[in-house]
Amino acid sequence: MSPEGRRSATGTRLRIGVLGAAGQIGRCLVRAIEGSADLELAFAPTRAELDLGEPDRIGPWLDRRRTTLPDCVVNAAAFTKVDACESQPELARRLNARMPGAWARALAERGIAFLHLSTDYVFPGDGRRPYREDDPTGPRCVYGLTKRDGERAVLEADPSALVVRTSWVFGPGRNFVLAILDQAAKRRTGEATGPLRVVDDQQGSPTAAGDLAEALVALCRLRAGPGREPRGCLHLRNAGVTTWYGFARAILDQAGYGDLAIEPVATGVFPTAAPRPAYSVLDTGRAAGMGISMRAWTEALAGYLAGPDRPTSLIANHPLTSGPEPSGPEPAGPGPVGPESTLSDPTLSDPVRRKVSH
């Protein structure tokens, strides 16, 4: 991925801190940093080490690391249970709005660059063309509202910060891909019957957490290099547009379940506490102008199914598969399958609603 790796202004390895390192994107970020010769992982605190939701602890925690502070911090942490945000709005505000604002302020005071991850849910979801960074926001659920407020808090605290919006993330851990394959495996063994039912009236772009992590690392390198310093808002996603139905069909076809049927259904079939955007495609022209582009989502899916995070026991055509034993998502009874979204991470509801953390 371009741009090429650069050294920090001091000539040493670029030091990057990661918040939310236990989630899908955070885990891929840590892996990308540790696998790059020009980068060094400055920190990736666990919840036991630092409660990210307690802003008064941020400054002292950073100051204890004054001799090893990072050049850049990427925040991949958030409260991402979309429906739970509706019943827990104060928790959502604390974690999605106040927390990133506090981190932006503390890092700016110490001269540390900040990249904050956000979501397609900040838009109303009724567009007809890909949303650009400067398009008006209009979130229609508590999750989207608190993420939008988090964007504003970050940029008010540090105008040089960069807010990165993304969508439909899949990576290590529970996610839409694993949930679809779990249901497919149950049908292959006879534990469940009938076609999968997947929403076909919501459009977006699946994004591989590993590809997104590489793009975020590239942005950190840009921040450390001379000249162009990305700030404000930026959209990143894998190329291409589909529906949840189209995504599910590709998953089954690539994983050896091409014979299994899927029934496309309307969003209304799966009532949820929080409304889902019908259209959440993000325009990535600004990122392309910086030399940062991401491959097609279908290629990214193939890479995921062949990569280190692949759910081997659920892939029917994998050479190591000895049987479709359940793994990944928690078991759920047979029934309809439909998407929910977290930090642009889809969740399945089938009929048990599952949270997908990032």
From residue 219, give the alpha-carbon distance in Å to each of 133, 164, 224, 254: 16, 10, 9, 31
| Element at 178 (helix H, strand E) | helix 176-189
Q: What share of the chain is helix, strand, coil (3-state, %, to 5)?
A: 35, 15, 45
From residue 96, give the alpha-carbon distance in Å to each of 46, 90, 144: 18, 10, 9
Query: 339: helix, coil or strand?
Result: strand
Q: How does strand 346-349 pair with strand 338-341?
A: antiparallel
Contact indicator for 323, 43 with CB cutoff of 8 Å: no
Reading the block at residue 325, the tokens are 């034993």
**Residue 143 bears catalytic tag:** yes
Contact indicator for 44, 52 with CB cutoff of 8 Å: no
What is the Cα–Cα distance from 176 to 32, expressed in whole angstroms?
23
Please say whether the dihedral angle defined by the alpha carbons of residues 212, 215, 220 and 223, taken in this order, is positive or negative. negative
Nearest to residue 32, comparing CAs of 68, 5, 62? 5
Q: Which amino acid is at 58?
A: I
143, 245, 257, 304: the catalytic one is 143
Read off the DSSP letter of residue 348.
E
Q: Is the peptide bond before 329 cis (omega within 30 degrees of 0)?
A: no
Distance of CA 245 to the CA centre of its chain: 19
Residues with active-site annotation: 143
